[in-house]
Amino acid sequence: MHADYLENSEAWQRIRDVLAGDRALKRAGEKYVARLDSQSDDEFRAYVERGSFYNATSRTVSGYVGMIFRRDPVLQLPDKSVAVQPALKTFINDVDLLSTTLDSYAKNLIVDVVSLGRAGTLVDWDGEKENRAYLSAYSAESILNWRQTRLGGQLKLSLVVLSESAPGVPKDDDSFVVVDVPQIRVLKLVPSTGDASFTYQVELWQLAPGKGRKKEQDWRLVSTITPFRLGKPLAAIPFVFHGPAHFAPRSVEIPD
């Protein structure tokens, strides 16, 4: 993991708990509430439950987001005569293949940026069903690692490691329960064959259960993909960092 991630991960979790409110803080117990030496487990639980947390933080985030979107965004699409207009119209009404509009997607990103000072978007391509581009949002906690490299006179992302989950299979004893599989998506630039250029490549790693006597779970490479556009591989990683002051990978420092 990136040193910047390790430095901020605890603060991000604390912010998530505070935004979740009273129940999340009480469930964390001694993490946020000091326990007296004389208290038994039952006494401490009762002590925590009697407390009350006024969630000013969540109200502040809602207020900031409300001010940013106090006026509806105005998006100007090309004229209908332009060939790309139908594709753009489809895209803004469903940017992530989950029926999320562009306005709603932007608002969700703003919530994360105001709260944690960080979020990310991967521009991907669905060539099996939709045959179009779509967006995938990643929270600060999901962006595990990254690297920038000077290539061709420009500072470019050369590595991004993302934590996510892949659809699993129903459990043997209950077909209605589907357990997702932990997955790591590695986006990287690799040297192209025969020249000095670089090509965008995607690796998917999944957590597989141990077999036989081996109980430990292993991360296993399940897929390596080289995305193409107009018949040519991409020369850059289509991932964007979102922050309150810049689009650089570095995080905004969160005070204790």
Question: pLDDT by residue for the chain (256 residues), tens digit each?
Answer: 888 889 999 999 999 999 999 999 999 888 988 888 888 989 999 999 998 889 999 999 999 999 999 988 888 888 888 888 888 999 999 999 999 999 999 999 999 999 999 999 999 998 788 888 999 999 999 999 999 988 878 888 999 999 999 887 776 666 777 788 899 999 999 988 766 688 999 999 998 865 555 556 788 999 999 998 888 889 899 999 999 888 888 766 655 5
Per-residue pLDDT, 16: 93
**pTM for the full predicted model:** 0.85
- Cβ atoms of 19 and 57 within 8 Å: the answer is yes
Token pair belonging to 242? 């979102």
Could you give the C-alpha distances from 13 to 9, 28, 87, 140, 238, in angstroms and in order? 6, 11, 38, 10, 27
- Other CB atoms within a 10 A radius of the CB of residue 101 amount to 14
Q: What pLDDT does 74 receive?
A: 86
Is the Cα dihedral 147, 148, 150, 152 positive or negative?
positive
Please, are residues 47 and 147 in contact by the beta-carbon 8 Å criterion?
no
> What's the pLDDT score for residue 147?
93
Helix (H) or strand (E) holding 48, with range, is helix 41-50
Q: Round to whole Å and give the CA distance between 30 and 34.
A: 6
Residue showing tokens 């985030």:
61
pLDDT at residue 226, rounded to an integer: 92
- pLDDT number for residue 196: 66
Q: What is the pLDDT of residue 238?
A: 95
For the chain, the first-to-last Cα distance in angstroms comes to: 21
